[in-house]
A = this chain, B = another copy of it.
């Protein structure tokens, strides 16, 4: 918590979380059903998940077909949409179908639409953000957003195989500035050239990030801290995975939301290993809720009490000593 010039405490702005990524529409088919068009996009999922912990600020672009009811969902969750640019054209659209075990998916259609010309502009009001979460977009754009924020306390982001393979140099320059890289296990192999998880994490530490989170889907996630070992969290066992779309982004949103909330409580002290471990669990909790319904529908009813109850379940089903 910091003091403003007049001596009053200024909290919520200083510890706020800036999120950049896509706000999009998805067409989804899983073994449990099919929807032709539903709100999606990395920034959407991240912000929704983070909104239970802090007040996220979105930097993204949408077209004229962005629905009023979808905007309402984001506003009801108190997500700041000042940085949501509206331009002529249509929203990014992605359509995919999941395999029977939902461990893989096939893209049927990708229409970049307004996302093709996305040049993220961080509003003046966002430039004091303490936490910056750079969703999976072109590395140069991630770097541009990072550069527009004055003095972030903690910067992290996501990436994917496309950027790793085809924009490698850009990506390496970009993540060199990050405190944390969040990546799934197959991407960690592509980025590092190491199939062993410990060695992959060491390699990524050497590229810059002090913290590395390797997401392993239903098997959980592992957090590595440079020179200090790791923390392994098993996945939450759902009775049914209805739709895994957005689960990784919700993990990121819960993770960064938890960091921002902890900082609001703890003041300006550096983030501790304990806080980052707790963030992995809250990330896992948010990812698990996301899978319970199609698209982001679970967030229409989800409460903080349900989130904290599931966190407690993690405490219970991992306890042994």
Using a CB–CB cutoff of 8 Å, the interface residues on chain A facing chain B are 100-101, 195-199, 216, 219-220, 222, 229-235, 237-241, 274, 277-278, 280-281, 315-321
Contacts and interface: CB of A to CB of B under 8 A. Distances in A.
A234 B197 CA distance: 13
A231 B281 contact: no
B320 A280 contact: yes
A320 to B, nearest CB: 4
A233 B320 CA distance: 9
14 contacts: A100-B195, A101-B195, A196-B240, A216-B219, A219-B219, A219-B234, A220-B234, A222-B234, A232-B237, A232-B317, A277-B319, A277-B320, A315-B320, A318-B320
Given A219-B220, A233-B320, A319-B321, 18 more contacts: A100-B195, A196-B240, A198-B237, A198-B238, A220-B234, A222-B237, A229-B316, A231-B319, A231-B320, A232-B234, A232-B235, A233-B234, A234-B234, A274-B320, A278-B320, A278-B321, A318-B318, A318-B320
Contacts of A219: 216, 219-220, 234
A239 B196 CA distance: 7
Nearest to A100: B195
A97 to B, nearest CB: 17
A115 to B, nearest CB: 35
A198 B232 contact: no
B220 A230 contact: no
A216 B237 CA distance: 13
Contact of A239 (B199, B216, B317): B199
A101 B231 CA distance: 23
A195 B218 CA distance: 12
Contact of A317 (B196, B199, B231): B231
Nearest to A233: B234
A309 to B, nearest CB: 14
Contacts of A229: 316-317
Nearest to A189: B101
Contact of A231 (B100, B222, B318): B318
A190 to B, nearest CB: 14
Contacts of A220: 219, 232, 234
A237 B199 CA distance: 10
A310 to B, nearest CB: 13
A65 to B, nearest CB: 36
